[in-house]
Structure 1
Amino acid sequence: MTKKNPDTHQSKKLKQRHKFFLNPYQDCAFTKCPKCETKTKIRKFPLVIKIEPKQLFLLNKQCKYCPICDLIIAKKQEIEPLITFEFSKSNPKIVDNQYLVMGTLDRKDWKDGNNKSLSSAEIIERIYLFKDVWNFKVIPAGWYDNDEK
């Protein structure tokens, strides 16, 4: 009988928190939750963004939030200029690279990460990955036949 090593990747339970939607629409603010239709709140979240290749970016970002669905909605048009501004001088090669909003951090960990007292490996250990990443398609207002909905 073989013992399983508790340090193997399969046995580690990743911490998860919140659901996430990266809003690609410029003209849609999602003042109501696209899932449950309740009014969204505005909250700041310390987001962890991975930019290819192997670059982490910590961003304390004001986002729409639905407490009922536990859904964070961040606007793509607000995140991309911040990435460009941050890396245009320090690492201009990665400015237009693909990125992924991975999850959130506790506020204390975000502060330590911004002060460079946490390494990338330590940040990854402390990250709360998103439980789920949602995608919504906006249907313009108007009259539709029942078949078109």
Structure 2
Amino acid sequence: MPKKNSKKLSDKKQKERHRFFLNPYSDSAFTKCPKCDAKTKIRKFPLVIHIQPQQLFILNKQCRYCENCDLIITKKQEIESLMAAGFIQSNPKIIGNDYLVMGTVDRKDWKEGTQNALSPSEMLERIYVFQDVWDFEVIPAGWYRSE
């Protein structure tokens, strides 16, 4: 019996996958990984975004991806403009609200959500939250005093 209870608890534990960096710099594309310096590739990821108040938005977006670090990098300005375009007709009051990029879903779940309109609770069960959210500071090239 205790094994079944522990299995139920592990089933309810949130699944994690990938690391994430929301790039606030408009002039930095991060063609190389800021962590390991390997070349990043371009991949599409169905990103799950929570917009205040209680709005779930899934955006299938091209992002930079480092396979070594399992790091997804996407530009903040691109996400905000795509969200604005998505809500300009359906819910213009939500444009400009605070948001959080929570994680990703499998491509098959994203397709099912676009075709069958899964409920938000069903989609929440399928989310892979990010293992970690990283932040990097860009230091412009040039000569600096040693301190």
Fold match (TM-score > 0.5): yes
- How far apart are 1:128 and its partner, in Å? 0.3
What corresponds to 2:57 in structure 1?
57
- How far apart are 1:11 and its partner, in Å? 7.7
Is the Cα–Cα contact under 8 Å of residues 58 and 114 in structure 1 kept in the other structure? no
Structural mapping, 1:1-149, within 5 Å: 12-147=12-147
CA RMSD of aligned residues (A): 1.7
TM-score (norm 1): 0.90
Is the Cα–Cα contact under 8 Å of residues 20 and 132 in structure 1 kept in the other structure? yes
The answer for unaligned runs of 5 or more in structure 2 is: none
| CA shift digits 1:108-139 (9 cap, x unpaired) | 00011112431100110000000000000000
The amino acid that maps onto 2:119 is S
Give percent identity, aligned residues only.
Answer: 67
Structure-2 separation of matches of 1:12 and 1:112: 22
Q: Quickly say closer, same or farther: Cα 1:44–1:11, change in 2 above 3 A.
A: closer
The amino acid that maps onto 1:31 is T
The amino acid that maps onto 1:54 is Q
The amino acid that maps onto 2:108 is K
Structure 1: which 4+ aligned runs deviate by more than 6 Å? none
Structure-2 separation of matches of 1:24 and 1:42: 18
Per the alignment, in what secondary structure is the counterpart of residue 90 of structure 1? coil
The alignment of Structure 1 onto Structure 2 pairs a total of residues equal to 143
| CA shift digits 1:54-80 (9 cap, x unpaired) | 101111100000000000001111111
Higher helix proportion: 2
Q: Quickly say closer, same or farther: Cα 1:50–1:116, change in 2 above 3 A.
A: farther
Structure-2 separation of matches of 1:16 and 1:102: 10
Structure-1 separation of matches of 2:86 and 2:116: 15
Structure-2 separation of matches of 1:114 and 1:67: 28
TM-score (norm 2): 0.91
